[in-house]
Amino acid sequence: MRLHVVFAFAALASCKSSGSDGGAGANGSAAPRIITLSPSATEVVDALGAAGELVGVDDYSDSPASVKALPRVGSFMQPNLEAIVRLKPTVVVVDDIHSQTAGALHDAKVATRECAMHAIPDVKACLRALGGDLGRTRQADAAIAAIDKAIEDAAAKRPARHPKVLLVIDREAGGVGGIIAAGPGTFNDELLAVVGGDNVLAGASTKYPKIGGEEVLRAQPDIILDLSYAGHDSLAEWDALKVPAVATKHVISLKDPVLAHPTPRMAEALQIMAGAVRLDSVNRTP
């Protein structure tokens, strides 16, 4: 299920490399051959202007468009070691859940760069680290500056009233059971805070709490943002819950892939989130 890729994010990131001296491309030798094991890492490589050096990506990377033609090396949760090694990469960008794969790659004499991707600081940390590896520090600095500016610009436009928002990541098909929501410290929670929404689960003890209809009723959200694949098909199931978001038809399906994982495309992600939390317009799809 693609949600394994999209929302297997927890804790803030650190980036570290192993395998080669100084990182791929640092010594000015042959062009790097890069493989990424997450959509976030693929977009970081693109933000550094190095998409042309990618030789393989995970099953779900689809941005930039050029990567759609590249060989696939397995899912985020299950990378295919044989497929990776067969492509003869000089560096593989792994996430923090890929310790077993990273160890096997080390044994195969393939360098890795760990970039855990859970939140906005992680995106900037990976840009710095991978930018240093690839000799693209100038591009990394520019991408980080663009992220900071996008956040500053979006924050300046926050509404005076902050709506209470429920961010739904997953739920059962055909109903509102089995809800998994975005709690504090997640990428979408960060986006929501920047544009002036108040997460109704800000006090949750986990990043992705599982809640039921009773919790939704207690929270009384003004807006429900349904990022689940069930929400992409129908929002009618929410009508059974008597909350302000349902009464005012502010139950919104967000299908945009840019919200599915931490990304350097911050301006685009914030623009979509800002539009979704406006209470002065009704935006309910499908």
Sheet strands (E) in the chain? 15-18, 34-36, 54-57, 91-94, 111-115, 164-170, 179-181, 198-199, 210-211, 223-226, 251-253
For the entire predicted model, the pTM comes to 0.86
Task: Write the single-letter amino acid at 190.
Answer: E
- What does each of the 286 residues of the chain score in pLDDT, given as a tens digit? 333 333 333 322 334 445 433 344 444 567 899 999 999 999 999 999 999 999 999 999 999 999 999 999 999 999 999 999 999 999 999 999 999 999 999 999 999 999 999 999 999 999 999 999 999 999 999 999 999 999 999 999 999 899 999 999 999 999 999 999 999 999 999 999 999 999 999 999 999 999 999 999 999 999 999 999 988 888 999 999 999 999 999 999 999 999 999 999 999 999 999 999 987 766 666 6
Q: What structural domains and CATH numbers belong to the chain?
A: 3-154 (3.40.50.1980), 159-276 (3.40.50.1980)
